[in-house]
């Protein structure tokens, strides 16, 4: 689509109230791709001392979601289903989720994502289906588009 749309989505991510709880940064380098940098700390742990599954889900869903939304320039998309495969526990430290558009055209889309350690080891993966909503991106706080 265009860089202004991707920049708007990055701003939208940063403005979401849920992200006040997580030290993270979304990067949309090109259409159909995303990179989410995240810092896991002890507040994200379950009782056994590793990242709770909600962290895996949030990162993987966000990465796939935003990769898909780069290709939908007018409305916010919604997650309709998400399959998550956790491969190993995650300790405190940095993680990266990489997302990519897989398929879709009009109403339904598929995206996938992987969760990686700093040295590139995969710790989880996910696949989601997403659909167009009736919520214009331009109406959402944080998203604005500079067409100049």
145 inside domain: no
Q: What is the pLDDT of residues 95-129, one digit of tens each?
A: 999 999 999 988 999 999 999 999 999 999 999 99
> Does residue 144 belong to any structural domain of this protein?
no
Q: Is residue 100 part of a domain?
A: yes
Provide the residue range defining the domain that includes 29: 3-139
- State the number of CA atoms in the 13 A half-sphere of 9 facing the CB: 32
Task: State the pLDDT at residue 90.
Answer: 87
Q: How many domains does the structure of the chain reveal?
A: 1
Cβ burial 71-110 (10 Å sphere, 16+ → b, else e): bbbebbbebeebebebeeebeeeebbbbbebbebeeeebe
Instruction: Tell me if 147 is assigned to some domain.
Output: no
Establish if 129 belongs to a structural domain. yes
CATH of the domain at 14: 3.10.129.10
Average pLDDT (10-28) is: 94
User: Does residue 146 fall inside a structural domain?
Assistant: no
The pTM assigned to this predicted structure is 0.93
- How high is the pLDDT of residue 148? 46
Residue bearing the bigger pLDDT, 80 or 146: 80
How much of the chain exceeds pLDDT 70, in percent? 97
Assess whether pLDDT exceeds 90 at residue 75.
Answer: yes
Q: What is the mean pLDDT of residues 17-29?
A: 93
């Amino acid at each position: 689509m265009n860089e202004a749309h991707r920049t708007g989505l990055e701003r939208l991510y940063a403005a979401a109230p849920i992200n006040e709880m997580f030290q993270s940064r979304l990067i949309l380098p090109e259409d159909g791709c995303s990179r989410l940098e995240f810092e896991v700390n002890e507040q994200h742990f379950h009782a056994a001392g590793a990242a709770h599954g909600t962290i895996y889900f949030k990162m993987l869903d966000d990465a796939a979601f935003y990769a898909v939304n780069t290709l939908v320039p007018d409305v916010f998309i919604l997650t309709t289903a998400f399959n998550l495969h956790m491969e190993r526990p995650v300790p405190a430290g940095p993680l990266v989720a990489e997302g990519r558009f897989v398929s879709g055209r009009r109403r339904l889309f598929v995206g996938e994502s992987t969760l990686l350690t700093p040295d590139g080891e995969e710790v989880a993966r996910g696949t989601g289906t997403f659909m167009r909503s009736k919520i214009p991106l331009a109406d959402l706080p944080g998203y604005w588009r500079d067409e100049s």
